[in-house]
Structure 1
Amino acid sequence: MSERLKSLAAAGVSVWLDDLSRERLETGNLAALIEDSSVVGVTTNPTIFAGAIGAGDRYNDQVASLGAEGRTVDEVITALTTDDVRAACDLFADVHAATPQDGRVSIEVAPGLAHDTEGTAEQAVELWEKVDRPNVLIKIPATEAGLPAIQQATARGISVNVTLIFGIDRYRKVMDAYLAGLEEAAAAGIDLSTIHSVASFFVSRVDSEVDARLEAIGSDEAMGLRGKAALANAWRAWAAYQEVFTSERFTALAGANVQRPLWASTGVKNPDYPDTLYVSELVVDGVVNTMPQKTMDAFADHGEVTGDTVTGRKPEADEVFAALERVGIDFDDVLVVLEDEGVQKFVASWDELVETVKGQLGSTR
């Protein structure tokens, strides 16, 4: 057992792995992470599946079988990914039974639907029914078009992982969509205790974009602000979460679960920063931290838990943002760029996945 990851879990942080592949499932790697590394959930995205399906040969037999049945590329992708997610859900069944908010496995709607409300809502239902496990989370992006789809899915009793959240204003809209969905679900007689949700607040990408702009400015004050925006943004998010989920609106929803903040994009991209930065500085009881394997291994090796490093830091965060504005950082523009890039990156990965499967099908026909 990794004692450092165990300490992180004991501090109230749910450790989720940001990766899934058939190799992890079939070799027992994921089972070992559950047993030895305090891993209590998994997140996936189109990039992860593109890498998994494009590497090795563990999917070949299933692709050949589906190809022989005349399945389309999209049907094959859905079958491959939902089978992996279903198997992972089953692997986490005991974790989920013990702690229903955990033992979760996420699967994302097609990124090309990011600006299509109805298409997103329809595919959320399709994936929910296809995986057919109570511990699956359907990932829906926090785009303007995604917000009503989040509400619609929640209203139907679907548990949602809201992804691609970068800023506080959008995060507040995400929480509002979740609460509105719960209110509709309650009116329809759905047991609110069965609905779970996380809000994936992206971290390292914020520093990558802001730091590049600070370096372009180049002043001493600007350079001194590098590596501070992402954490400050997350600390603000936690303060907003505390406000919303202690409100009368939420407490009136009998049996409802909070929508836990999930720290995403926690792999450190700048080698000048500590490789556990977005874990050690985001420790607070009641959050999820989904980590790539490299970050998880780094924390297991030398990460430190020093207590709650988030609560009460909004004033400090506000000072950081005031300083960023003073040196000329337009954070609203940063958020637009990050959301556009986030969608585009997942679309590119999806296109790569389509081409990979198309090639594999072509070789079997």
Structure 2
Amino acid sequence: MTESEDYDITWTMPHCVLTLKLIALSFDMWDGAKMKKGKQLSATNQQTALLNTPNILELFGFVYFPACFLVGPIFSFKRYKSFVSDEFPIENESMSLENHAMKRLLQGLGYLTAFQIGVTVFNVKYMISDEFWETSIFYRHFYCGLWAHFALYKYISCWLLTEAACIRFGLSYNGTEKTENGTVSKWDGCNNIKLLRFESATKFQHYIESFNCNTNFFAAEYIYKRLKFLGNRHLSQFFTLFFLALWHGLRSGYYMTFFNEFIIIYMERELESLISKTQLYEKMWNSYLKGVLYVLLKMYTIVFMGWSLAPFDLKIFWKWWRVYYSLYFSGLLLFVPWAFVYKPLIIMAIKKYCKNKDKDSIKAE
């Protein structure tokens, strides 16, 4: 009854954010119970732990806070409690609130406009059409990447608009900071997107750090860190991403997208740890090649963000599989063989480079 060839609307979608908020609330109450027993908690968990159970009125107020109960950002019950208890300096800084809220509102409208323009130029339906096959392989990769970049603007615009509402309410208070003009209040407590980091990303870790920040914080604090008993950070990361995929739904596209994130981050971290130790890597970033390297890495992130996001948007197996087929499964060929093909070759190349470097230095002496 809800499926179509264009877009699926299911009754579970509006409950995504609600689910995370209630899971976080449950963990916070559990942490509070452990604190009462004298058990040690991390500094972050201590900040959100609840020593007292919310009453029914507080619970409904927290769940259905009007600014963001459908699309987020999520926030802790302690933040909500501080807000309704008048602990934030809202009345004293109404002008500052209005300025910060207006800035986010205008940014949100700007990204919403860019999204509307972008999706008219880059259309996901075109990528599963026969016409798409008639273009070159390079064109298909860049088209898919640029489509994904503009598709993400939909989420960014929503978060900016809801953050503007949260700021204007006064919910976003995040302490104070010292500036040249004295001590000022920060109103970024409900920030869900770091625009500069997102737009300048040169690796997928930058996307994770800048995109959907509150959900990533939830995943790190309430899932990933609580899987420490597994004794393996890769396993913890895998199950965290599996949880996020399951949270989105049962469509195969969700699981493929988060699997992509797992293999890409795994490769990036290991590759960076290998090449960052070499002098060649430092020389490239400190020479005229820096600009060239930045452009190449920017192209890499845009192209393979398209690869990663296509299943998430298309959801149904035959649709995203068709796109992957048109891209000749380039992402799988690049990221899956990393551990047993590319990594050993790079290690050999680095050892050979270092060995030749040592020989040259000995000759010079």
Q: TM-score, normalised by structure 2?
A: 0.27
Q: TM-score, normalised by structure 1?
A: 0.27
Q: Which has the higher contact order (CA 8 A, sep 6+)?
A: 1
Point out the structure with the larger strand share.
Answer: 1
Larger Rg belongs to: 2
Point out the structure with the larger helix share.
Answer: 2
